[in-house]
Structure 1
């Protein structure tokens, strides 16, 4: 009888172990899906709050000390929010971000998100209104602190852009003069910015560049806890 009892206990343990492992795996999967959902909402809210000029909410998407590097700005997120306020107050351009579904990787309390974004700017030129459309990606390094996922660092990677007339049938030839002074990936955006008195950032990251490869390396190292 004693040997039978031992055998039954061993058998029960053999069945219990896989069940416990399955429960742990299910819990980890649920936690991961919850974290990815929270991060995806945060990424989407960034674009919505920027376009709706909801500045306190926009600032809340970053952790203290968070940074952002885009076509016209590179530095602390607080400075970006304040500069965005000034641009919006000038009323010279209408801005819209269309974001896709982010690809998210998570390791513990750290995450990396990458999302496609189309940045549309309507602005005035001497010959009429124009739409400048830029295709880019936002690469975010995020961290969970005090129970909340927020951005530690955001970098935009620029792929291509174009410009279209709004209230005229064609663009004048003069608009295409001097474009070679700017990178091909965002030449129309950079030229439009220059007309508005905004210089292209010296740290702008272009698609398939050495800076892009270094950014991905930094993101991988961040995710690994380095």
Structure 2
């Protein structure tokens, strides 16, 4: 390959990685309730699988709006720097994430801070020259719940059996969402599980389906 062609390829990869990193960062629009901007980061047929939701981006936006207008919680996502792999018009990214949720729960009711450590595992596609997210899966690592007022205790109103089958990696997050009236989904993917391995293997096969050799990401 000529030097000029190599330089052009490296530039194209760097620009693609920049665009993908920007897409992942824009999930912060969720916390700001900027729904149109959030929708624009996903393809219309994109899907999401997280602790409390599994479905299309349109359905996710509708359910997120309901939670936001309920006034029952405050939500903040701290989004890390994505690690990106690119092959032609497809890409994968994995991003460290901290989910911070404040809810009022229990009997007697008290404000509680729930903190969840997780990762976003995303598929991206470039269609007509534009990158967007086509699939998002959350991988959960650990979480905790802390009363805002020191010296008080968190007393969930959920029956103990309501949490049957919920992995300990996101048990507090799931409890908080169920206290808010959300239906618990089938177990989400947790770190180090066989489900995580299958997710990654399927994604690598999907990425390798593009024409040519798998190209690693480059730093920009």
TM-score with structure 1 setting the length: 0.86
- Say which of 178, 182, 189 aligns to 1:205: 189
Instruction: Give the distance between the partners of 2:182 and 2:155, measured in 1 at CA.
Output: 22
Q: CA RMSD in A?
A: 1.9
In 2, the alpha carbon distance for the partners of 1:103 and 1:176 equals 38
Paired with 2:136 and 2:202, the residues of 1 have a C-alpha distance of: 12
More displaced stretch, 172-181 vs 114-123: 172-181
Structure with the largest fraction of helix: 1
Moved over 4 A (4+): 172-177
Query: In 2, distance between residues paired with 1:138 and 1:172?
Result: 28
The structure with higher relative contact order (CA 8 Å, sep 6+) is 2
Offset at residue 203 of structure 1 (A): 5.0
- Which range moves more in the overlay, 169-178 or 146-155? 169-178
The whole-number CA distance in structure 1 between the counterparts of 2:54 and 2:202 is 17
8 Å CA contact 2:142–2:168 kept in 1: the answer is yes
Query: 2:119 matched to 1:144?
Result: no
CA contact under 8 A between 1:123 and 1:129: conserved in structure 2?
A: yes
CA distance in 1, matches of 2:94, 2:156: 37
Alignment size in residue pairs? 206
1:174 Cα offset (Å): 6.1
Partners in 2 of 1:76 and 1:172 — Cα distance?
34
Closer, same or farther: CA 176–200 of 1 in aligned 2, 3 Å: closer
> Gaps (5+ residues) in structure 2?
211-220
Gaps of 5+ in 1: 1-19
Counterpart mapping for 1:1-226 below 5 A: 21-46=2-27, 48-126=28-106, 127-172=109-154, 178=160, 181=164, 182-225=166-209
Shift, 1:42, TM fit:
0.7
Assess, with a 3 A threshold, how the Cα gap between structure 1 residues 172 and 73 changes in structure 2: closer, same or farther.
Answer: closer
Q: TM-score, normalised by structure 2?
A: 0.88
